[in-house]
Amino acid sequence: MTGVSFRPAETADAPTLVAIYNHYVTASSVTFDLDAWTADDMSHKIEAVTALRMPFIVAERDGDTVGYGYLSTFRDKAAYDKTMENTLYLRDDARGAGIGRSLLEELLRLGAVAGVREVIAVIANTPDAVPSIRLHEKAGFARVGEMDRVGRKFDEWLGVVMMQKSLVRD
């Protein structure tokens, strides 16, 4: 994979990133959001993740923004502070070219630098999320649980798969 690089997201990226995300909100079950985000929503997310001192990165291919990923709070209670949930989205036409794999690797590398111990992926248990489940398996995430019928989208009850990767060796 050539020509792909990563850099920290800035609030100025919000309109581009929200366009990438909203494609999946409206066309796919990989996210359980039902309503499109605004650029302000994305801007606030970038600010919140940055304030947590967690990575929020943008993937660029030949200078073009093709995806993003970040680590954010898994659960609010303080004892969960070293456990983060990961999120990654590629522009639809940039999928299947190895970018997701290197984006996730970079996110995990930066997470370890930031002191994260455990990373959790909560992934829709739907056919359109199979690439994500496979990607996480390949990156060393273990499938640690499933919850059935916890979301409703496109007139269907949907479940999630929980995956976990440790960034430390005890």
Among positions 7, 75, 109, 134, the unique one binding ligand COA when judged by CB under 6 A: 134
Minimum distance of ligand COA from residue 81's CB (angstroms): 22
Among positions 98, 115, 145, 159, the unique one binding ligand COA when judged by CB under 6 A: 98
Under the criterion CB under 6 A, does residue 115 sit at the interface with ligand COA?
no
Of 53, 57, 52, the residue nearest 70 (C-alpha): 57
Under the criterion CB under 6 A, does residue 101 sit at the interface with ligand COA?
yes
Burial label, 44 (beta-carbon count in 10 A; 0-12, 13-18, 19+): middle
Under the criterion CB under 6 A, does residue 121 sit at the interface with ligand COA?
yes
Whole-number Cα distances in Å, 170 to 104, 117, 140: 22, 10, 16
Under the criterion CB under 6 A, does residue 97 sit at the interface with ligand COA?
yes
- Comparing CB distances to ligand COA, the nearer of 78 and 126 is 126
Would you give the binding string for ligand COA spanning residues 21-60, x where CB under 6 A is met? ---x-----x------------------------------
Q: Tell me the window of 44-52, 109-117, 134-142, 151-159 that interacts with ligand COA (CB under 6 A).
A: 134-142
Under the criterion CB under 6 A, does residue 90 sit at the interface with ligand COA?
yes
- Residues making contact with ligand COA (CB under 6 A): 24, 30, 88-90, 95-101, 121, 123, 129-132, 134-135, 138
